[in-house]
C-alpha cells in the first residue's frame, strides 16, 4: 500500500512539472513531506543542552521536566502510553460485550458474562472463600511429598504459582519448535533478596507487611490461626529463596538453558 501511494505521488509530481512553475511544485512537495511527519517532536527537545554533552537530555529534556510518573507506575514513556491506550480500547470492547444482549454461546456473550461476574463485587462479598473451598480442602489434605507434588500440578493448571513454574515456549536455540520449561518460582515478594537481606530496612519492612497481608488473607478464608499460618508461609518462601539463583545468574543464558529428555528429568528429579 505504501509503495502504491508513493508511486501515485511520484507520477502526479511528474505530470505537474510540465504544467506548473517548478518553484511552486517544489514548495508543494516540501509541504506534502512535512505533512507526513517524522515522528520526532521537536517541542520536547531541550535546546539549552549541547547534544554532544548529553544527547538523551538534549532530545528529552523538556519532556522529562514536564512529565510526571503516574502514581500507579514505576516508569513512564511512549511504550507505557501505548499499553495504556491498548488497555483502554480493550476495556471499551469488553464493556460493550457486557452491555449487549449477545446470542447465547457467542464470544460476546462469554466475554460479557465473565466480565460482569468479575465486576459483581456484592456477589463476591457474599460468596467469600466458597468458590475456592475445594482447593483449600485439597491443601489441607496434603500429608506427604507425593501428595504435595500432585497438588502443585493441579494448582499450576488453575494459575496458582508453585515452587517450580512450568510453561511452554519457543526453544531458545531452535525457534521453530516448542518445548516445556521448568524454572524457579513460588515467591510472593519480587525476588530472593527481599527474603534474605538483613541490612536493608526496605526489605525488612516489606517482609513484615507481606506477613500481615498473608495473615489477613487466611483469616478471610476462615483459618482460625491465621498469624501462625502466615509465619509458616513466609518461612517456606524464605527456604525457597535461599535455593533460588539471583538475578545476575538468571540473566546468563548459558546457565539457564539445560535441555534434557523426559527420562533425564525423571532421573534428575524423581517424582516431579
Q: Which is nearest to 193 in space by CA: 183, 202, 185, 203?
A: 203
In this structure, are 160 and 251 located in the same domain?
A: yes
Asked if 47 and 61 touch (Cβ cutoff 8 Å), the reply is no
Domain span at 165: 145-268
Q: What is the pLDDT of residue 22?
A: 57
Distances from the Cα of 53 to the Cα of 37, 43, 59, 108, 270, angstroms? 27, 20, 12, 55, 59
- Same domain membership, residue 242 and residue 160: yes
In DSSP terms, 33 is beta-bridged to none
Q: What percent of the chain has pLDDT over 90?
A: 61
Give dist(CA 171, CA 213) in Å, integer: 38
Question: End of a domain among 18, 43, 73?
Answer: 73
Domain for residue 155, yes or no?
Answer: yes
Q: Which of residues 73, 89, 116 is at a domain's end?
A: 73
Question: Residue 166: inside a domain, yes or no?
Answer: yes
What does the pLDDT look like over 233-264, one tens digit per residue? Answer: 999 999 999 999 999 999 999 999 999 999 99
pLDDT at 19 over 60: no
Query: Is 233 among the domain residues?
Result: yes
pTM of full prediction above 0.75? no
**Do residues 246 and 164 share a domain?**
yes
Residue 68 has phi, psi (to 5 degrees) of -105, 145
Amino acid at each position: 500500500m505504501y509503495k502504491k501511494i508513493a508511486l501515485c505521488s511520484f507520477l502526479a509530481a511528474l505530470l505537474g512539472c510540465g504544467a506548473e512553475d517548478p518553484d511552486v511544485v517544489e514548495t508543494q512537495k516540501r509541504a506534502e513531506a512535512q505533512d507526513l511527519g517524522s515522528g520526532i517532536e521537536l517541542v520536547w527537545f531541550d535546546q539549552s543542552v549541547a547534544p554532544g554533552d548529553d544527547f538523551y537530555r538534549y532530545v528529552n529534556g523538556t519532556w522529562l521536566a514536564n512529565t510526571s510518573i503516574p502514581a500507579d507506575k514505576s516508569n513512564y514513556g511512549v511504550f507505557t502510553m501505548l499499553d495504556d491506550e491498548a488497555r483502554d480500547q480493550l476495556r471499551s470492547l469488553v464493556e460493550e460485550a457486557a452491555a449487549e444482549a449477545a446470542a447465547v454461546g457467542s464470544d460476546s456473550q462469554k466475554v460479557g458474562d465473565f466480565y460482569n461476574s468479575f465486576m459483581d463485587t456484592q456477589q463476591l462479598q457474599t460468596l467469600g472463600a466458597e468458590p475456592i473451598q475445594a482447593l483449600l480442602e485439597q491443601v489441607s489434605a496434603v500429608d506427604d511429598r507425593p501428595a504435595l507434588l500432585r497438588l502443585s500440578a493441579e494448582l499450576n493448571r488453575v494459575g496458582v504459582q508453585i515452587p517450580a513454574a512450568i510453561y511452554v515456549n519457543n526453544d531458545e536455540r531452535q525457534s521453530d519448535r516448542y518445548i516445556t520449561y521448568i524454572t524457579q518460582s513460588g515467591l510472593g515478594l519480587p525476588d530472593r533478596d527481599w527474603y534474605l537481606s538483613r541490612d536493608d530496612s526496605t526489605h525488612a519492612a516489606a517482609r513484615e507487611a507481606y506477613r500481615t497481608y498473608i495473615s489477613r488473607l487466611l483469616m478471610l478464608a476462615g483459618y482460625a490461626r491465621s498469624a501462625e499460618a502466615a509465619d509458616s508461609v513466609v518461612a517456606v518462601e524464605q527456604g525457597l529463596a535461599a535455593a533460588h539463583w539471583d538475578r545476575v545468574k538468571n540473566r546468563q543464558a548459558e546457565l539457564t538453558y539445560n535441555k534434557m529428555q523426559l527420562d533425564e528429568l525423571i532421573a534428575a528429579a524423581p517424582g516431579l
